[in-house]
Structure 1
Amino acid sequence: MDTQSLPLVSVITPSYNQGTYIRETIESVLQQDYPHVEHIVIDGGSTDNTFAILSQYNRQSEKFRFVSEPDRGQSHAINKGLSVAQGEIIGWLNSDDTYLPGAIRKAVQALMANPHWGMVHGNGYCANERNLPIRPFPVKPQDRQKLFERCNILQPAAFIRKQVLYEVGGLDESLSFCMDYDLWIRIAKHHPIGYVPDYWAKARYHAASKSVNQWPTVGLQEVFRTSAKHYGTVSNDWVLEYLYFHHNKGVFPLLTFFRAHAVFGGAPRITAMNRYPDMWVPPRFHVSIQSDPQAPAHTLLIRGSRLGSPPSSHPAFLHYVINGSLTGRIAVSGTTFTVELPLPPDRTNHEVDIFASWNVKIGSPANPRVISFLADQVLPLTYQELQFYRAYLANPAGIAQWVRDHRTPVPRL
């Protein structure tokens, strides 16, 4: 078969200060046995020896070209490369990763044999700093449902039809870590994702790589944001991984993060509240709550503190009025307290007023202010959020098992 009749493959490499590794990356492309390849490096204006290496290959190979100028990050670099790529098939190879021999040929053969596939991916290895395989990456066949559970595509072992990349709008440039996961989900919504059980690439893990030093923070946060955007919630696998790294943060940071990403469904929200900017509240503390009928607010959780401790002969109380009806009172002792105010289950909107049996005047004589207590946490919780809160308080070390036993997410597919 004539070389020019084969599909052109454009390999795009985003680069920034990877002079230590990029030569090996380029060689892994140039040494492929598939004859119709162009390699485009989009460099972000590296200040190390990257430019000299790129210039050398630009002189030596007609298959190679590069741009070196400031950009807005990795996703922007890939999109820049896509805009000038001439190939029908796109490979995305980061500047510290490498292809294994035959990878491009095998990917093209798979896509030509399966014209309905929007992309194809193969197996690969996690490699160390010297590019020696450490272990196989846990690759599995993927579709939209499986991608909700977890991402089992090794990015450098993936090849995508350029037309499909244009259809889904390229990479999301607001993402700096899991832009590949976001891309696979968008492709899977419209096209089958093919899989070939052969080894095509190595992803290098080293001290400076994002996959090593940013995964627990930036990486997982972007995964949660991406999953919540596409599926309306997050899988148990992702929740358990987050808990593995962050379970010791405390229950309120965990609840706040999980609520922001619909881990327990649509979280009830506060639509109005007269708490002061410094979190002190007036003698009549008012909170308006709105919730989803599918996940109604069950309890208003308040963590507060007060100035000084009440004498034992004068117990302190919080009286609460819910939706215009005096509902009850809760005794408060000590300087800090946490209360759970039950909300009627038959409503989605609630108006809550809380009156403390104590008040304190603070401020200057010219600008006095009467306050009751400091409310540093005010959270309307669904029933499952409340159960998570109580389970964590009872046994923080066992919260992962509680998630396995009690949480069944329902993704929007």
Structure 2
Amino acid sequence: MDRQKTPNEPLVSVICTCYNQAPYLQAALDSVLQQVYPAIELHIVDNGSTDFSRKAILAWQQKNAHKLPIRCHFRDRPINYCQSFNRALAQTRGDLVVDLAADDFLHPRHLAEAVNRLSVTNASVYFSNVRHLYTNGQTRAFYPVDAAGKAIGPIPEGDVFAAVVEKYQISSASLVLNAPVLKAAGGYDERLVYEDFDLLIRMARDHAFVYGDLLGVTKRILPDSFSSQQYRVGDARFLSTTLQVCDKIAALLRTAEEAQALKFRILHETKHALASGNFTIAARFLERYPKGGSTDWRYYSYRAWLACRWDLSGLYDWWRKRKTL
């Protein structure tokens, strides 16, 4: 593919982070190479993999180094994901930046659509629809789509702060971000176990989001992937990060609508903490339920559940698989 860029085209820096994801790595990297948008630099980060990822990265780089600028970052041992990303981010030159997981891959028009939508709006963050790909080969769109692949129903745009506080309404896998804005915000918060909720909150507080109606990213849903670990029986690491982000949100609230959204979020996270047997973190969530206004009946029911310590965690995975929780 001819990757000649014009002087006015913004450079997109793609940071692809890999940790023991060698079987999926080539699809991710090839999807960057197959973008119809020409102005791209690629940073490949191996975060201390113990499989053959490093060998695969070097082979791919050698084969494709003449096609686009590629820089590899190899770590001898794994470090915190947010810290790893920030180290690579500091070395990017792009006007826009993408965080690409090594087990995901991009639609060929993902970056072109992002650059176009950002160029005609005052937004700093672009997002799209995402195709979830399951291990059995089945797929599901993040936003339900019609026969033509177009999203059904309203999608939040512009000021999306209340929307992303309330629930997971934007898939972070699809984000294309204004690089100076992200760098000025300090990149990812290195105190956190996972980054996407916090990133959405901090970007949405003061920056507009714009949507592109494209299944721009295919996200593999794997049992051992980072995104599959958020709610786990007896493991509160990810819930602890969510709690820290909720504390940040409380300091950022400006409207009654946003306060109501935080109430909804806290009850949602409390429910999962209780159902997964993480009672200590559940108590901490309930302590942060905003005072004032009406109190949802679920707040009282969750307090009763906590007081009795009903351990139903043996059913938790069953509930989640059937989406009945």
TM over 0.5: yes
- The one of 60, 64, 75 equivalent to 1:61 is 64
Summarize the Cα distance change of 1:113–1:34 in structure 2 as closer, same or farther, 3 Å threshold: same
1:101 and 2:108 are equivalent in the alignment: yes
Q: Any residues of structure 2 matched to 1:159-178 within 5 Å, and which?
A: 159-177=176-194
Tell me which residue corresponds to 1:231.
250
1:29 deviates by: 0.8
- Structure-2 change in CA distance of 1:259 and 1:52 (3 Å): same
Distance 2:106 2:276 in 1: 39
Taking a change above 3 Å as real, the CA distance of residues 88 and 239 of structure 1, as seen in their structure-2 partners, is: same
2:241 to 211, 219, 222: 222
In 1, distance between residues paired with 2:213 and 2:138?
17
Q: Call closer, same or farther: CA 1:146–1:39 in 2, change over 3 Å.
A: same
Aligned partners of 2:302 and 2:130: how far apart in 1?
38
1:124, 1:157 within 8 Å by CA — same for their partners in 2?
yes
Whole-angstrom CA distance in 2 between matches of 1:187 and 1:235 = 20
SS state at 1:122 partner: strand
d(CA) in 2 for partners of 1:204, 1:126: 6
For residues 246 and 208 of structure 1, the distance between their equivalents in structure 2, rounded to whole angstroms, comes to 22
TM-score with structure 1 setting the length: 0.60
The answer to which structure, 1 or 2, has the higher relative contact order (CA under 8 A, 6+ apart) is: 2
Matches within 5 A, 1:129-148: 129=135, 132=137, 134-138=139-143, 140-142=155-157, 143-148=160-165
CA distance in 2, matches of 1:207, 1:392: 29
Taking a change above 3 Å as real, the CA distance of residues 155 and 255 of structure 1, as seen in their structure-2 partners, is: closer
1:3 to 2, 5, 30: 5
1:99–1:200 Cα contact (<8 Å) kept: yes
Match of 1:122 in 2: 128
- More deviation, 189-198/207-216: 207-216
Change in Cα spacing, 1:213 to 1:185, as seen in structure 2 (3 Å) is: closer
Change (3 A) 1:204 1:242: farther
Give the secondary-structure state (helix, strand or coil) at the position aligned to 2:111. Answer: helix
Please name the residue that 2:284 is paired with: 257
1:205 corresponds to? 221
- Rg comparison, structure with higher value: 1
Alpha-carbon distance in structure 2 between the residues aligned to 1:23 and 1:50? 10
Conserved 8 A contact 1:126-1:205:
yes
For the residues of structure 1 that align with 2:306 and 2:187, how far apart are their CA atoms?
Answer: 41
The superposition leaves residues 100-120 of structure 1 with CA deviations (integer Å, 9 ceiling, x where unpaired) of: 121111111111111x21111
Aligned to 1:277: none
In the alignment, does 2:105 pair up with 1:86? Answer: no
Distance 1:102 1:254, change over 3 A: closer
Gaps of 5+ in 2: 145-154, 252-258, 312-325
Note closer, same or farther for the CA distance 1:45–1:190 as it changes in structure 2 (3 Å cut): same
Task: Quote the offset at 1:18 in angstroms.
Answer: 1.1
Partner of 2:119: 112
Count of equivalent residues: 276
- Counterpart of 2:27 (choices 13, 24, 30) is 24
1:20 match: secondary structure: helix
- The list of structure 1 runs, each at least 4 consecutive aligned residues, that deviate by more than 4 angstroms after superposition, is 252-255, 384-388, 390-394
Matches within 5 A, 1:398-413: none
Q: Matched residues, percent identical?
A: 23
Q: Could you tell me how far 1:393 is from its partner in structure 2? A: 6.7
Deviation (angstroms), 1:210: 2.2
Mapped to 1, the partners of 2:52 and 2:161 lie a distance apart of 41
Matches of 1:61 and 1:256, distance apart in 2:
52
The 8 Å contact of residues 165 and 265 in structure 2, kept in 1 or not, is answered as no
Instruction: State whether structure 2 residue 161 is matched by structure 1 residue 154.
Output: no
Residues 274 and 306 in structure 2, CA contact (< 8 A), matched pair in contact too: no
| Residue number in structure 2 paired with 1:274 | none
- Cα distance between partner residues in 2 of 1:246 and 1:212: 18
Structure 2: distance between partners of 1:158 and 1:386: 37
Q: In the aligned structure 2, how far is the partner of 1:51 from the partner of 1:39?
A: 16
Matched position secondary structure for 2:6? helix
Give the corresponding residue for 1:360. none
C-alpha spacing 1:244/1:181, structure 2 compared with 1 (3 Å): closer
